[in-house]
Structure 1
C-alpha cells in the first residue's frame, strides 16, 4: 500500500548538446579517471560544495560493444521522440542522454532498474564501462589531433562533464558517489532546491552554459526546477572539430529534394579526398574524417523514395554505416546545415518501456527509501552547425528527480542532394556522440 504521508520528491535529468562550425580555440578531453567538477557557474552566485570520492574509472568495455549499445539506444530514442517530425531538421546526442540515464540507473533498484537496463542495454556495470570506453576513445582522438596540429592552434576540442546536483538536505549514499566516480568521473554539487530553486536552476544552467561554450545558455526553464526537486543529473558535451581537408563552398546553389518531396536551392560544399564508403539495403554512406581521423561524421543517404524506410531502421543502420568498409578517393557534394532541438524525452522513454522511473520509482540507491524519489523530466537540447571548416556541436542532458586511403584516378562521386541522416562519432567505437536528420538544409 502506498504511504499516505510520504513526500515524493522530483528528480530531473537534463542534457544539452551544441554543434556549430568555427575556428578551434582550445582543446580538452573527457576525464579518464574519477574527478569532481568544480568549475564556477556563470551566475555570479557562490559555487556549491562538491561531494566526491576518489575512485579509478572502471575498465572500458570492448569498443564494438560500446558502439553497438550506443547506436541501438540512440536510434531507438530518436525514433520514439514524437517531437521529432520526419520532415524537420533535428538532432540529439545519444551519448549525452545515455550518460545521464546511466547515472540514474546507478542508483535505481528493482523494476525501475530493470526497465532502464532494457532500454539502455546491459547492466549498470556494463553501462559505466560503455561510457568509459567512449570517453577513452574520444580522449585519444583529441590527443592525436593535438599532436598533428603541433604548435598551431588546436584543431579539435571535446569537453565532456557529468554532474549531479543534490539538495543540501538529501543524504546521498556513499555507494552511489562511488558508482558515479568510477563509471562517469562525476561528483555531487550541493545546492538549495528547497529554499532557492531559482538560484539552484541558475547554477545548473550556468554550469551547462560554460561547458557548451555558450551554445546552450538555458537548458532548464523556470518550470523545470521547483522546491520539490531534490536531484538533477546533468551531462554536457561540447565538440568542435575541423575537417581533415577543408571543404570549398560552391559559387552556385544546388537543387535539394526535401523529406516531403519538395525541391529547394541550397548552398553546398565540395571536397575531394580519401573517405570511407558503406552501403546497405536502401542506403549509401560516406564517412568524412575530422583532423587526425579519430572523430568523423558519417552521412547516411537513403535511395530515392527510401527515406522513411531507412529512418525506421536507424538503430541497425547506424552500426553498419559507421563501419564504412571501403576507403577511396571521393568527390563529395554536401549542403551546409544546422539544427537546434529542445525536447522532453519522458514520452519517448515511456514508449521504450521506462515507466517506473516516472511513477513509483525505486531510486533508493541514491538516497532515501523506495518511492521517495521519482524522475519528473528528462530534458535534452542539441545544437549542430556544419560548414566548410568543420563542425561545432554541443549537447546537454538533465534528469530531474521532482584508416589508409586507396588513391584512384577517378574519384567516386557522392552527391547529397536529398534528405539524409548524419552521425558524429569516434572511429574506435563508432558510438554516436550526435545523431540527426536533415530534411531541408534551407
Structure 2
C-alpha cells in the first residue's frame, strides 16, 4: 500500500494546494486513505471502480487490497520504542442494524477496527459528541471537534473514523538558545519575522535534487525509523512549480539520493492546523459517485447509502525538541581528509515537508509552510 499511498498523497496535496496556492497546509493522506479504503470495502460496481482508481490501488482484487491494508495498519499499530505512534480505526454504525454484519466483520478483520453502536436517530448530537471525544482521546487532545455541529443528523447511518497521533524527539535536537528571529520570504514577495531554529548537524541525510530544483534534508527522529523530510526549493517562489512537477518517482529519489555531510540547518519553529471537508476534492480526483445519493453503490455495506462528507483535521507542532502531529478523518548513510565546508540549508522561504515512515516507504503526514497568515481562512473554506 506504500506506493499507492504516496501517489494518492501527492494527488491530494496538489488538488488541495490548487484551492489556496499561498496558504499553509498540513494533513494526513494516510488517515484519509484508510477511511476511504474502509468505505471501498462496502462499495460495488462503478462506485468501487472509481474509488480503486482514485486511491491508486495496484490491483482491484479485494483480497490483495485487504492484505495491503492489513500490513499498513499492522505497521502503524506496531508503534515504536523510540517515538509515540498510534493509530486507531472505529466504526460507529447506527443501532438499528442497517449496516450489514458481513461488512462490519470485514472491516474489523482487515483494519483492526473497533465497533461502537450509537443511536443517530434518537440522539444525533450525543453521538457526534461521543465520536469527537474518542478522536480527542486518541490524538492526545490535539484534534477537537472533528465532526462540526450539524454534521450528524437522524439520517446518519454510520461514521467511519480514523485517528493518528505522533510525537517524536529529534535525534539531533536544536538548542532553544540558538533560536532567533529571522526573515522569512513569502510567495507574494513579502517578508516577515519568524522564530528560526539553527544547528550545525554532522552526518545528516542531505541531497540536491535537480528534477525538482530543490535541496532535501532528512531530520531524523530518535530511533531513525521516521524523519521529517524537508524539500526546500532553490528559489523563493519555487514551491508552486515544485509541487506541480512532483511525483512518486521524484519523491523516492529525494528519499534515496542523499549523502551524509555536515549541514548548517536553519528551519522555522511553527505550529499549523488544518480543517478540511473533502467530498468535493475526492470527487474531483475521480470518485464522485460515492458522494451522490442517486449514483452511490454501497450495497456491500447496506441499502440506499452514500457518503455525505469526509471531515479531516490535522495539527503539527515543530519545535527544538521534535515534532508532535495528529490527524483524524471521518467519512465523515573512509577516507580521512580535511573536512569539506558544511552545506547550508536555510529554510527562509516556502517549503514542502513530510513526516516519513521508512518501514512503510510512505508519508504519514504531508504539509507546506509558506509563512502565510491565511491558514485560518483556509481552515474555514470547504475544499
TM-score, normalisation: structure 1: 0.77
The equivalent position to 1:391 in structure 2, one of 309, 323, 337, is 323
Residue equivalent to 1:266: 194
Question: Cα offset for 1:71?
Answer: 1.3
TM-score by length of 2: 0.88
Q: Structure 2: any 5+ residue segments left out of the alignment?
A: 374-383
Counterpart of 1:40? none
Tell whether the 8 Å contact from 1:242 to 1:389 is kept in structure 2 after alignment. yes
Hey, what's the Cα distance between the residues in 2 that align with 1:128 and 1:212?
25
Q: How does 1:78-227 map to 2 (within 5 A)?
A: 78-81=13-16, 85-122=20-57, 123=60, 124-138=62-76, 142-143=80-81, 145=82, 156-227=83-154
Relative to structure 1, the CA distance from residue 83 to residue 225 in structure 2 (aligned partners, 3 Å threshold; closer, same or farther) is farther
Maintained 8 Å contact 1:81/1:347: no
Counterpart Cα distance in 1 of 2:19 and 2:318: 20
- Indicate the SS of the match to 1:338: strand
1:418 pairs with one of 337, 346, 349: 349
Q: Whole-Å Cα distance in 1 between the matches of residues 130 and 222 of structure 2?
A: 34
Change (3 A) 1:294 1:441: farther
Determine the C-alpha separation between the residues in 1 that align with 2:349 and 2:8: 26
User: Match for residue 22 of structure 1?
Assistant: none
Q: Is the 8 A contact 2:311 2:330 kept in 1?
A: yes
One of 291, 312, 315 as aligned partner of 1:358: 291
Distance 1:181 1:323 in 2: 36
Structure 1 gap segments, 5+ residues each: 1-65, 146-155
Pair 175,274 (structure 1): closer, same or farther in 2 beyond 3 Å: farther
**Considering only aligned residues, what root-mean-square deviation do their CA atoms show, in Å?**
2.1
Q: Does 1:277 align with 2:209?
A: no
Aligned residues of 1:323 and 1:430 also touching (Cα < 8 A) = no
Instruction: Report the 3-state secondary structure (helix = DSSP H, G, I; strand = E; otherwise coil) of the residue aligned with 2:151.
Output: coil
Is the CA contact (8 Å cut-off) linking 2:85 and 2:164 kept in structure 1? yes
Contact 1:86 / 1:439 at 8 angstroms: preserved in 2? Answer: no
Query: For residue 368 of structure 2, what is the aligned residue in structure 1?
Result: 437
Q: Distance in 2 between matches of 1:138 and 1:287?
A: 21
Q: Secondary structure of the residue that 2:205 maps to in structure 1? A: strand
After TM superposition, give the deviation of residue 138 of structure 1 in Å: 4.4
Q: Name the CA shift for 1:110/1:228 in 2 (closer, same or farther; >3 Å).
A: same
2:77 and 2:86 in contact (8 A); partners too:
no
Q: Which structure 2 residues correspond to residues 322-337 of structure 1 after superposition, within 5 A?
A: 322-337=255-270
In the other structure, the counterpart of 2:380 is none
- 2:224 matched residue in structure 1: 293
Q: Distance in 2 between matches of 1:195 and 1:138?
A: 35
Q: CA deviation at 1:139?
A: 5.3
| Other structure's SS at 1:343 match | strand
**SS state of the match for residue 293, structure 1?**
coil
Residues 125-148 of structure 1, C-alpha deviation per residue, up to 9 Å, x if partnerless? 4443444334444456613x2xxx
1:7 corresponds to: none
Contact 2:179–2:198, Cα closer than 8 Å, also in 1 = no
Higher RCO (C-alpha 8 Å, min separation 6) = 1
TM-aligned CA distance change 1:269 to 1:206, over 3 Å: same
